[in-house]
A and B are shown apart, each in its own frame.
Chain A
Amino acid sequence: MDGFSNNASQRDEPAKAFAAMLAPVRSAFLASLPDHIAAFEEFCELERDEDRLELAGGLARRAHRIFGVAETLSFPKLGRSALDLEIKLGARTEIGALDGLVTNFVSEMRQALHA
């Protein structure tokens, strides 16, 4: 069993080293979330579609960035929410009916912050 444990621990070394390399990236990602949360909450406070459309491009870009890294940093649910939102924001067709998706996305970001 000792031999197996040693082999297993040797096998774990690259994974541990990789996790160590990703740790500062994960911290930087989490540090960026409050700014994203504020941006999406501002969107929800807007009532006129025209005002929302003005923000849509920038928010789609934010969602795109979060989607690009969330899963790699072990936040798969957040990544999927980001993708859903990026697609809807990019389509710009249901801009007045995105509150549910945005709220869910903000909630995912808050959960990531408290993970």
Chain B
Amino acid sequence: MKVLAVDDDPIFRAAFEAVLRHHDIADLDMAASGQEALRLVSTQTVPFDCIFVDIQMPEMNGIELAGILRAMDPEGRTQIVMVTGLSDRQYIDQAFMAGAVDYITKPLDALEFKARLSSIQRVHESRLRANAVQEQLAAATNLQHQIDYEDALTPPDVKGLISYMALRNYLKAIGRPRYALSQRIGICVENAANIFVRTNDEDFLDIMADVGEVIVETLKSQNLMVAYAGSGEFIAVSSAIYLASPEQLESQINTALEAYQEAYLIDAVPIVRVGKAMRGSIFARRSIDEGIDEALLSARARPTMHGYSRARSA
């Protein structure tokens, strides 16, 4: 795994380098500033798999740097992991919005660091496997999928859409009280499976990107996070106190999606169902994943959208 670590403190950089090498990360570069990191990133022939970014840095802080790095790599091939001190926790929301997928805390805790690094390595290895499969299927026909329908790949180029892994990490990071106050909304594309079989990977993800864009635009609220969870399903997390009803949201989203109809080569306008907004309790024992599943289940349980012409649907 090819790693870059960015921190302005030379002593922390040296300690971090020792820790990474101790965990068998040999392909490693260090940068002392955001500018140096950007220079290094732009001169690589093979991109970094993971970039650790300190939040508190002079001139260009870690959040700005993460935003630029994500803009340079909209498909999210490089995992951006923030390095935070206790006093930086207030910036974690911004870091996830800027494109980070996880964070580690200073001082480095051996067990926590090992667990986080393992998770980063697992994502890296699954990408390597996916690339290998992709190469093997290079000769395949246009409509043969190299991704699975269930894959939670982030549709490209949608401002406000973060990766599913980043959303789950975010919910874990904000702590129980804020998690309980947030509202989780499951949104599913009821004809996603049909769209999937009638499109190739790129077109399917483009359509999901359109749905994601409309969801972000429709929900537009403070601290909104939206992620694609795979299988044509999205999960949105909002701290807004008031949200429109599922019926109203469904109607707004589906109406907005009609505008995309002309752009699709197939007769497959996505039709969306919106579940009830779920708010948790501080004392609830449900895990983050169970909370997400509950929101998605509510969307799946909504009646199909008969108001929208079946002729248009895939």
How many residue pairs, one in A and one in B, have C-beta atoms under 8 Å apart?
55
The verdict on B9 contacting chain A, using a C-beta distance below 8 Å, is yes
The verdict on A28 contacting chain B, using a C-beta distance below 8 Å, is yes
- Give Cα A73–Cα B16 distance, bound, in whole angstroms: 11
The verdict on B86 contacting chain A, using a C-beta distance below 8 Å, is yes
The verdict on B12 contacting chain A, using a C-beta distance below 8 Å, is yes
Interface string of B58-85 (1 = CB under 8 A from A): 0000000000000000000000000001
Specify which chain B residues have a CB less than 8 angstroms from the CB of A87 in the assembled complex. 86-87
- Say whether B14 contacts A28, CB under 8 Å: yes
Residues 56-80 (chain A) with a chain B CB within 8 angstroms: 61, 64-65, 67-73, 79
- Say whether B85 contacts A28, CB under 8 Å: no
- Say whether B22 contacts A18, CB under 8 Å: yes
Specify the main secondary structure of chain A where it touches its partner: helix
Given known A86-B87, A87-B87, contact A21–B11 (CB-CB < 8 A)? no
- Say whether B85 contacts A22, CB under 8 Å: no
- Give Cα A29–Cα B10 distance, bound, in whole angstroms: 10
Chain B residues with a Cβ closer than 8 Å to the other chain, count: 17
Chain A residues with a Cβ closer than 8 Å to the other chain, count: 25
**Chain A residue with the shortest CB-CB distance to B106:** A68
The verdict on A107 contacting chain B, using a C-beta distance below 8 Å, is no
Interface string of B75-105 (1 = CB under 8 A from A): 0000000000111000000000000000000
The verdict on A14 contacting chain B, using a C-beta distance below 8 Å, is yes
Residues of A in contact with B (beta carbons under 8 Å apart) = 14, 17-18, 21-22, 24-25, 28-29, 32, 61, 64-65, 67-73, 79, 83, 86-87, 90
A sample of 13 cross-chain residue pairs with beta-carbon separation below 8 angstroms, ordered by A number, consists of A14-B22, A21-B18, A21-B21, A22-B15, A25-B11, A61-B56, A65-B11, A67-B106, A68-B106, A69-B9, A72-B19, A83-B86, A86-B85
